[in-house]
Structure 1
Amino acid sequence: MTFYPLITDSIRTVLLERGPRIVDVSNFKFPVSDGDRRFDGKWFYKKLTNGENVRRERLLYSQSEDSLFCFPYLLFGKDHRGKSSSFSDFNKGFSDWKHLNPLIYNHENSSSHRLCCMQWKDLQNRLKQKKTVDDEIQESIQKEVEKWRNILKVVIDVIIFCAKNNVPLRGTAKKEIIGESSSVFLSTLELISHYYPKVAEHMA
């Protein structure tokens, strides 16, 4: 059983920015469970009153759990614990394929689901327009993420360079000191830091 983590504001922001992952499941064979029943990929689509089929982008499927999850409900559902939902189990998800119809419609028409969807789209729009209350914090988080992403890229590039040239990452000294008795790996990072302030700041 998967343990669903506590959704903090920072985790919620990352999930919102990435959004639910939508993949083509037309050729995917869902496992048989619940007796002789299995999930049918057709449920990823909903027919509107005008006959048009639209993707249920909020509907998530977990292969490991063979269960369905509601994306906005995972983000905001714990704020509405008092309002029951067939998709309210954050750890197991929904896998009652025999009763998927009508329970999926009951969930979509529930007040808690609609409220979660409104919160999802509202926060998503405010993040895009940079109108959140903690906009400065969000901007600071993004800068920090970008900083560490760039540093990690440099470190990985140096590791690959050493590997391609059969150069050991560690030097011969028991205690390596940057600028004195350091390996090719650390020496290369030091050289790069002369031209890359973020790496220099990190090495300092």
Structure 2
Amino acid sequence: MDPADWPQQLTDAVKSELVSRGPYEVKPDFTFPKNEDGRSFHHHVHRQLVNGEKIKRTWLMYSPKRDSLYCFCCKLFSQKAFKLSRHGFNYWKNCSETLKMHENSPEHTKNMGPWKELESRIRTGKTIDKVEMALIKTERRRWREVLTRLVAIIQSLAKRNIALRGTTDRLNAPNNGDFLKEVELMAQFDPVLKEHVAKVEGGANHTSYLGKIIQNEIIDCISERIVESIVSEIIQSKYFSIILDCTPDLSHKEQLLRV
């Protein structure tokens, strides 16, 4: 998760989940935006040891949403409010000196210990709340299975150019659209979706991931992966061509449909 999206209050369960994922990293081909004075962050921000060796600052995170830096362990465990732990740091002119001062500070050193200890306990399965961690892993696996099926349904409908939504988002309504109808059909035979639909219909503020917002987010995620795949093939190809498909509108002007 982008550190800008972290909740204000970090519970033990959230901390364990974030530590198990590790510090957020941007993609190697990410282009950092420039500020008003033309400066920007960059990928190669390493710590140089006294022997000249350069090592990666594994605790450092960059937030694309805020164009700011955060310290992973301090944002998780520090009780003090400073830029690298709360609001983010983006004063690029003195970036190297600030990072050097921070990693040598007592506060950072104090917070590195709980991070590495929790990381080790999670890896070896020796956390104090071992039962709770097992439940979290089970719940994560269940949601992954549910979302896998929802993505498959959306892909199936999209390949056939079938509209997803109807006039309502309620299950088992006559006009709720093809997406929910597919979910209802699969739930009759698939135990994962059957359990999920039962929980949704049971209420209790259960998250459904069946509404129009999550449908649009899944479509956006799929489209991003498709574009990434196309761009990767173009980069690897020696030659490529572009086909333009146009059609006239009501005023008989040609309109570009797709590239």
Matches within 5 A, 1:15-94: 15-23=18-26, 28=31, 31-33=34-36, 36=37, 38-39=39-40, 41=42, 44-78=45-79, 81=80, 87-88=84-85, 90-91=86-87, 93-94=88-89
Tell me if the contact between 1:22 and 1:57 (Cα under 8 Å) persists in the aligned partners.
no
1:200 is aligned to 2:194: yes
CA distance in 2, matches of 1:101, 1:165: 53
Q: 2:156 aligns with which of 143, 153, 161?
A: 161
Question: Helix, strand or coil for the counterpart of 1:38?
Answer: coil
Shift of 1:120: 0.8
Structure 1-normalised TM-score?
A: 0.73
Structure with the bigger RCO (C-alpha within 8 Å, sep 6+) is: 1
Q: 2:108 aligns with which of 94, 113, 133?
A: 113
Shift of 1:42: 7.4
Report the AA paired with residue 19 of structure 2.
L
CA distance in 2, matches of 1:64, 1:144: 28
CA distance in 2, matches of 1:45, 1:184: 51
Shift of 1:24: 6.5
Report the AA paired with residue 187 of structure 2.
S
Shift of 1:113: 0.3
CA distance in 1, matches of 2:41, 2:154: 45
Q: 1:10 aligns with which of 9, 13, 25?
A: 13
Shift of 1:194: 4.6
CA distance in 2, matches of 1:50, 1:143: 46
Question: Helix, strand or coil for the counterpart of 1:113?
Answer: helix
CA-to-aligned-CA distance 1:101-145 (integer Å, 9 cap, x gap): 543322111111011111111101111111111111111111112
Shift of 1:170: 6.5
Shift of 1:152: 2.4
Change (3 A) 1:60 1:152: closer
CA-to-aligned-CA distance 1:152-189 (integer Å, 9 cap, x gap): 222332233234335555789xx9748x9997655544
Give unmatched runs, 5+ long, in structure 2: 199-259
Shift of 1:25: 6.0
CA distance in 2, matches of 1:41, 1:163: 38
Change (3 A) 1:176 1:103: closer
Change (3 A) 1:17 1:181: same
Report the AA paired with residue 107 of structure 1.
H
Q: How much is the aligned-residue C-alpha RMSD, in angstroms?
A: 3.6
CA distance in 2, matches of 1:101, 1:25: 20
Tell me if the contact between 1:37 and 1:98 (Cα under 8 Å) persists in the aligned partners.
no
Tell me if the contact between 2:61 and 2:70 (Cα under 8 Å) persists in the aligned partners.
yes
Change (3 A) 1:129 1:167: same
Report the AA paired with residue 119 of structure 2.
Q
CA distance in 1, matches of 2:166, 2:35: 55
Shift of 1:148: 2.0
Alignment: residue pair count: 192
